[in-house]
């Protein structure tokens, strides 16, 4: 049980790093951005490539990963989303466009990795960044996984940073204003473009840190983002696609379901552990039904609401 608990903490911190920026980007831009999945994968590979070329420590690698993928996210916005938005394209079309970006970036990465493999003459499929970190450290009498500590530290620091940024910093407050009412925010002099660019910088950078954390703990592969897409969206949906704290909680719920809950179900009900992805998907489905994300459906539980007394009168007038 201790192993499952530790794994829950480990995996939940990584899921949180991957899903919180998705919530942030939707909250501000109102776009469900599938290219977010590619940002995660690119984060892992930026770490792998740079760590092969330069003798980097964890902090330098994290900064480089953040910056490079932040630029990628801004480019994705400037080249794909912004031109469509300026033509008044609806959010569904923008979401579809983001799917195109996702697929394009994925296969671009395959081409880049294959080329880099030939140039650098090292295996680049299923590799970990070349950063000298001991796999375990001893704390008192316990041997603790270093990667567990690193991923949780990155997650907590990111959440604290976001709290301070969104609450105390002018640009962060501007982002909240645009998220609540973009038109009104612009009237007050807030530059929507500046806010969107800042949002994509944070989104891309933090998602990349999620990819870095995953690759340190497991491995980097071009399929990394695709392998976690269900969990990332499930965490964000639990957060209602709007609340960062609830997304963080959602990450713990999904990790709990995949590790501890499935273990209980297997032990006491004989459910096969292969039902693990089903648990994540069932959780996602239940949340959508009970508490639809982004205010859809009118709230909790919308279809069981009793008719308001004045409903009939209003409908006839």
Partner 1 sequence: MSEQSKPENKGTSILPRYVALLLIGIVIGSAVGYLVESSAVESERSIVSQLQDQVAQLQAVKEYSIGCTFPLTGDLAFIGTQFQSVAEMAVADLNNQTARYGLKVRFNLVIYDDKTTPEVALTNVQTLAQAGVKVVIGPAGSSQIKAIKSYADDNKIMIISPSSTVPDLAIPDDYIFRTTGSDVGQSQALATLISGQGMKKVLVFARDDDYGVAFGQFFKKDFEALNGTVVIMNYAVGQTDYSSEVAQLSTKVKNEGFDSVLMITYDTDGANILNHAKDDATLSSIRWFSSEGVQGTPQLTDPAIAAFIQKVKLYGTRPVFKENPLLLNFKAEFKAETGLDAGVFTDKVYDSVFLAGWSIIAGGYDGAAIKEALPKVAQNYYGASGWCILDGNGDRLIQDYAVWTVVPKVGGGFEYQDVASYSSGSLVWG
In whole angstroms, give the CA distance from residue 33 to residue 29.
9
Closest CB to partner 1 among residues 204, 258 = 258
We find the least distance from the C-beta atom of residue 218 to partner 1, in angstroms, to be 6
Could you give the angle at the alpha carbon of 199 between the alpha carbons of 150 and 217, nearest 5°? 20
Place of tokens 């316990």: 142
In whole angstroms, give the CA distance from residue 295 to residue 237.
11
* Residue 135 backbone dihedrals phi, psi, to 5 degrees: -75, -30
We find the least distance from the C-beta atom of residue 191 to partner 1, in angstroms, to be 39
We find the least distance from the C-beta atom of residue 200 to partner 1, in angstroms, to be 26
Closest CB to partner 1 among residues 53, 91 = 53
Closest CB to partner 1 among residues 118, 313 = 118
We find the least distance from the C-beta atom of residue 40 to partner 1, in angstroms, to be 12
Instruction: Name the nearest CA neighbour of 269 among 259, 277, 261.
Output: 261
We find the least distance from the C-beta atom of residue 123 to partner 1, in angstroms, to be 5
We find the least distance from the C-beta atom of residue 276 to partner 1, in angstroms, to be 6
In whole angstroms, give the CA distance from residue 34 to residue 100.
8
Closest CB to partner 1 among residues 49, 262 = 262
We find the least distance from the C-beta atom of residue 120 to partner 1, in angstroms, to be 8
DSSP 132-157: ---SEEEETTEEEEHHHHHHHHHHHH
In whole angstroms, give the CA distance from residue 289 to residue 80.
32
Closest CB to partner 1 among residues 190, 238 = 238
Closest CB to partner 1 among residues 249, 263 = 263
In whole angstroms, give the CA distance from residue 262 to residue 82.
43
In whole angstroms, give the CA distance from residue 94 to residue 25.
13
> Rule CB under 8 A: which residues touch partner 1?
3-4, 7, 11, 107, 110, 114, 117-118, 120-123, 125-128, 135-136, 145, 218-219, 221-223, 227-228, 231, 258-259, 262-263, 266-267, 272-277
Structure tokens at 81: 């989303």
Could you give the angle at the alpha carbon of 211 between the alpha carbons of 287 and 124, nearest 5°? 135
Closest CB to partner 1 among residues 165, 219 = 219
């Amino acid at each position: 049980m201790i192993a499952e608990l530790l794994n829950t903490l480990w995996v939940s911190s990584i899921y949180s790093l991957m899903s919180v920026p998705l919530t942030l980007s939707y909250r501000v831009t109102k776009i469900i951005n599938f290219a977010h999945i590619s940002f995660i994968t690119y984060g892992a590979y930026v770490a792998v490539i740079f760590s092969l070329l330069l003798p980097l420590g964890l902090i330098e690698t994290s900064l480089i990963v953040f910056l490079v993928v932040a630029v990628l996210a801004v480019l994705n916005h400037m080249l794909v989303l912004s031109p469509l938005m300026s033509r008044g394209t609806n959010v569904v079309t923008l979401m579809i466009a983001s799917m195109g970006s996702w697929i394009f970036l994925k296969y671009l990465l395959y081409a880049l990795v294959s080329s880099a493999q030939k140039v650098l003459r090292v295996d680049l499929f299923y590799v970990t960044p070349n950063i000298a970190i001991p796999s375990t450290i001893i704390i008192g009498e316990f041997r603790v996984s270093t990667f567990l500590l690193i991923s949780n530290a990155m997650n907590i620091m990111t959440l604290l940073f976001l709290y301070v940024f969104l609450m105390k910093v002018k640009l962060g407050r501007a982002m909240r204003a645009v998220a609540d009412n973009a038109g009104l925010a612009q009237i007050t002099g807030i530059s929507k473009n500046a806010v969107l660019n800042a949002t994509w910088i944070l989104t891309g950078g933090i998602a990349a840190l999620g990819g870095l954390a995953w690759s340190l703990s497991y491995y980097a592969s071009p399929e990394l983002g695709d392998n976690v897409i269900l969990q990332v969206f499930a965490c964000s949906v639990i957060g209602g696609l709007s609340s960062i704290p609830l997304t963080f909680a959602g990450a713990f719920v999904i990790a709990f379901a995949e590790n501890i809950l499935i273990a209980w179900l297997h032990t006491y009900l004989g459910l096969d552990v292969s039902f693990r992805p089903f648990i994540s998907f069932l959780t996602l489905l239940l949340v959508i039904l009970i508490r639809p994300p982004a205010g859809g459906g009118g709230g909790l539980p919308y279809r069981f609401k009793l008719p308001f007394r004045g409903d009939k009168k209003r409908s006839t007038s």
